[in-house]
């Protein structure tokens, strides 16, 4: 009996350490290989990250310190009935997101003193959608019985005709698919871009979603979803897009360089790069530590996610997914086309004309301001350098790429 117990303990330890926590890098590469528009627009995100790291974009650019509400739809896609997870389990995950993204976690006291001052609240409030794409009441949860095993590791999870379920409009909902992925993967996400991937959203294994039900220790505290949501709002792993080199970057100046992922629960300090005096920030949500050893986002990570919610994911702010923001959508919706543009771009107000429009470059420098005269405004871009700009109306900020 003692030998059997020892074997089971060893197997449990192996399982905890061997989990491939996040497959974002691999799944991103698949999308880039097959979606040309997404591949082209990811270059804009990389440039935005580079400029942010270089200090060319102020922390408070286009940010008034508001709490941003994120509408969420959870698609439960299950092969076995046990993975048709309960509403209570779904709510437990939403609660963790709101706790950790707003620095209300009690275990932040475990952050080493050398990193404690870097911790920050992101200021995001996650809410299950109460209106579906047709404007009807919803719980913010869909349920689909599938005949495809490990559907999360296929191209089918986001296709209704192939055993999954189509995403709800991705500009206006954070789509989360909870389904079997297979292997040791716990979840993955897709980085934001001007042109969204057809897979845009987050995929989570039931064993790492929420804090009750199918969630299995040591990934039963909801932190894998916190990690993947960080990716959804533009964050890289702490070691950058590739491991095995201390010169790769995550574009965040307040996270130490790191050689690769830290699995399990390390002792502090742990060093993977000899030139980093503080050691690894393995307790950051963007590393691979087990749930009980992850405690923080940094100030720069929080600032960058807030930059993303005001640029490539700005439409989440004006979603019709939540009753509370219905009037904002009806009164203030505007669109830019064509985008990208090379000379002339049109700004169309679908409802109410804005009192004022401003054109701002990616550094936050105001180029010009004017009062629109009609619902369709033509903006001459021929004198501008190529790059990313922002057209700000009275109520929203639209991202524009000039070629």
SS3 298: strand
Q: What is the reported pLDDT for 327? A: 39
Task: Give the model's confidence band at 337: pLDDT under 50 very low, under 70 low, under 90 confident, else very high.
Answer: low
39 and 294 Cβ atoms separated by less than 8 Å: no
254's tokens: 């307040």
pLDDT computed for residue 358 by the predictor:
87
Residues 254, 300: Cα–Cα separation, whole Å: 6
Q: How far, in Å, are 59, 280, 326 from residue 236 at the CA level?
A: 18, 15, 33
3-50 pLDDT per residue, tens: 333 333 333 333 334 455 899 999 999 999 999 888 888 988 888 899
Read off the pLDDT of residues 232-281 as tens digits, 9 standing for 90 and up: 999 999 999 877 789 899 999 999 999 999 999 999 999 999 889 999 99
Average pLDDT, the chain: 87
Tokens of 295: 């405690």
Share above pLDDT 70 across residues of the chain, in percent, rounded to a whole number:
89
348 catalytically annotated: no
pLDDT given at position 331: 42
Q: What is the mean pLDDT of residues 221-242?
A: 96
SS3 per residue for 36-51: HHHHHHHHHHHHHHHH
- Range from 214-218, 247-251, 360-364 carrying the lowest mean pLDDT: 360-364
194 within 8 A of 401, measured Cβ to Cβ: yes
**For 333-402, CATH number?**
2.60.40.1220
For residue 184, pLDDT over 80 is answered with yes
CA atoms of 335 and 332, how far apart (whole Å):
10
pLDDT at 77: 98
Contact 175, 165 (CB under 8 A): no
Kindly state the tokens that stand for 55.
């200090």
Q: How far, in whole angstroms, is CA 278 from its chain's centroid?
A: 27
Instruction: In the chain, count H helices and then E strands.
Output: 8, 14
Distance separating alpha carbons of residues 18 and 152, to the nearest angstrom: 19
pLDDT of residue 346: 72
What is residue 24's three-state secondary structure? helix
Confirm if 318 and 351 have CB atoms less than 8 A apart.
no
Number of residues that this document lists for the chain: 403
The domains of the chain are located at 17-308, 333-402
Supply φ then ψ for residue 313, to 5 degrees: -115, 25
Give, in order, the Cα–Cα distances in Å from 31 to each of 94, 136, 169, 190, 228: 27, 32, 18, 9, 16
pLDDT at 400 over 90: no
Sheet strand arrangement including 344-349:
334-337, 344-349, 376-380
Pairing of strands 334-337, 344-349: antiparallel
Distance CA 224, CA 203 (A): 11
Q: What is the pLDDT of residue 204?
A: 98
Instruction: Give pLDDT, residue 8.
Output: 32
pLDDT of residue 324: 67
For 17-308, the fitting CATH number among 3.40.366.10, 3.40.390.10, 3.30.200.20, 1.20.58.2240 is 3.40.390.10
pLDDT digits (tens, 9 = 90+) for 267-319: 999 999 988 999 999 999 999 999 999 999 999 999 999 999 988 898 898 88
Residue 94's pLDDT is what? 98
Please pick, among 53, 81, 110, 228, the residue that the annotation labels catalytic.
228
The burial class, CB within 10 Å (0-12 / 13-18 / 19+), for 15 is: middle
pLDDT in tens, 113-142: 999 999 999 999 999 999 999 989 999 999
333-402: same fold as 17-308?
Answer: no
Residues 361 and 367: beta-carbon distance below 8 Å? yes
């Amino acid at each position: 009996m003692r030998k059997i117990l020892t074997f089971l303990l060893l197997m449990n330890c192996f399982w905890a350490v061997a989990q491939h926590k996040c497959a974002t890098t691999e799944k991103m590469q698949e999308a880039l290989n097959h979606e040309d528009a997404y591949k082209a627009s990811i270059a804009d995100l990389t440039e935005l990250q580079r400029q942010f790291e270089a200090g060319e974009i102020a922390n408070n650019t286009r940010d008034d310190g508001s709490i941003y509400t994120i509408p969420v739809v959870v698609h439960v896609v299950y092969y076995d009935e046990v993975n048709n997870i309960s509403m209570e389990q779904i709510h437990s995950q939403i609660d963790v997101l709101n706790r950790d993204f707003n620095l209300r976690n009690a275990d932040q006291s475990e952050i080493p003193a050398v990193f404690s001052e870097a911790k920050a609240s992101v200021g995001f409030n996650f809410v299950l959608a109460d209106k579906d794409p047709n404007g009807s009441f919803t719980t913010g949860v869909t349920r689909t019985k599938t005949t495809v095993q490990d559907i999360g590791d296929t191209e089918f999870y986001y296709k209704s005709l192939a055993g999954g379920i189509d995403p709800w409009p991705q500009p206006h909902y954070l789509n989360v698919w909870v389904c079997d992925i297979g292997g040791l993967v716990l979840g993955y996400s897709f980085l934001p871009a001007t042109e969204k991937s057809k897979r845009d959203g987050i995929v989570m294994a039931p064993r790492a979603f929420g804090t009750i039900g199918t969630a299995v220790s040591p990934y039963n505290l909801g932190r894998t979803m916190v990690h993947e949501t960080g990716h959804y709002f533009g964050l890289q792993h702490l070691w950058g897009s590739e491991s095995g080199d201390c010169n790769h970057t995550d574009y965040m100046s307040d996270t130490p360089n790191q050689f690769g992922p830290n699995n399990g629960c390390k002792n502090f300090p742990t060093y993977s790069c000899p030139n980093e005096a503080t050691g690894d920030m393995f307790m950051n949500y963007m590393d691979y530590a087990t749930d009980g050893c992850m405690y923080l986002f940094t100030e720069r990570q929080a600032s960058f996610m807030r930059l993303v919610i005001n640029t490539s994911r700005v439409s989440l702010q004006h979603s019709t997914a939540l009753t509370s923001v219905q009037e904002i959508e009806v009164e203030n919706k505007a669109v830019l086309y064509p985008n990208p543009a090379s000379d002339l771009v049109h700004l169309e107000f679908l409802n109410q004309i804005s009192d004022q429009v401003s054109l701002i470059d990616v550094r936050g420098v105001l180029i010009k301001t004017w009062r629109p005269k009609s619902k369709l405004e033509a903006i001459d871009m021929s004198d501008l350098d190529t790059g990313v700009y922002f057209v700000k109306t009275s109520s929203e900020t639209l991202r524009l790429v000039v070629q």
